A = this chain, B = another copy of it.
Amino acid sequence: MAWRTENGQLSRRQQVLETLRSEIMTGRYEPGERLIEAAISEELGTSRGPVREALRQLEHEGLVVSVPYRGAVVLDVSDEEVQEVLIPIRLTLESFSFAKALELMTEDDFGELAKQLWLMEEGARKNDLQQVVEADLRFHEIVIAGSGRQHTMQVWRSIWPRIRNYFIRYGRFRELDSIVDEHRELLDALRGRDLEQTMAVLERHIAVPVPSSRPAVGEKR
């Protein structure tokens, strides 16, 4: 993600996209609020074109719905769907990716993971949830990218923003250090190129995204 030109320039569209995504995450835009093209383009000093495209992207990331001639409205994500749909999908993606990445990733790639781990540690020390979450997701994205499978990556790109919002919302109930520890385990397992071990650690890691106060993922009854 975050497509850059070869010089490292971000496209206008990307800037708008990231701004809005972040402002939705932090709650500057609340669920139900309308996003008006003209207002945004003026505020961000760009034309309507890039804003339109950014809004469409947000729609594909499930952060927004847009209805013809009525525009885009910020969506909220129910815990139910995150826990029963998005997280299981994530598990599918990552199980597959970690298995492939095991065989494909280089020491250099592992270095990238170590970097995220370091950022995570720093974030935990500062008690900076956002930094921890950022590095957390980045860590997983690197592995998914490392699997070299385009479609897996494609799905990831469409779900991670919602997962990030979820983490930000509930992450304060977790011990940040334990998040770091789990990723250290993941990295170790990967470096050991031990499939079974990796899968075990991964499942444990993903299956417990949040010590939910809810009884379970239980049915209505």
Which residues of A pack against B, CB within 8 Å?
A: 3-5, 11, 49, 52-53, 56-57, 60, 62, 65, 67-69, 75, 77-78, 80-82, 84-86, 88-89, 92-93, 96, 99, 103, 149-152, 154-155, 158-159, 162, 219-220
The answer to whether A3 and B53 have CB atoms under 8 Å apart is no
Residue of B nearest to A162 (CB): B151
Q: Pick the residue among B3, B75, B152 that contacts A81 (CB under 8 A).
A: B152
A71 to chain B, nearest CB (A): 13
Residue of B nearest to A11 (CB): B68
The answer to whether B151 and A81 have CB atoms under 8 Å apart is yes
A17 to chain B, nearest CB (A): 11
A115 to chain B, nearest CB (A): 25
Closest 10 CB pairs of A and B: A60-B60, A81-B151, A62-B154, A88-B92, A5-B68, A62-B151, A89-B89, A85-B152, A158-B158, A84-B96
A194 to chain B, nearest CB (A): 14
The answer to whether B159 and A62 have CB atoms under 8 Å apart is no
**Given contacts A85-B152, A88-B92, A89-B92, are A158 and B60 in contact (CB under 8 A)?**
yes
The answer to whether B5 and A65 have CB atoms under 8 Å apart is no
Can you offer 27 A-B residue contacts whose CB atoms are under 8 A? A5-B69, A11-B68, A52-B53, A53-B53, A56-B56, A60-B154, A60-B158, A62-B150, A62-B151, A65-B150, A75-B150, A77-B151, A80-B149, A81-B152, A85-B92, A85-B93, A85-B96, A85-B151, A86-B151, A88-B92, A89-B89, A89-B92, A92-B92, A99-B219, A103-B220, A154-B158, A155-B159
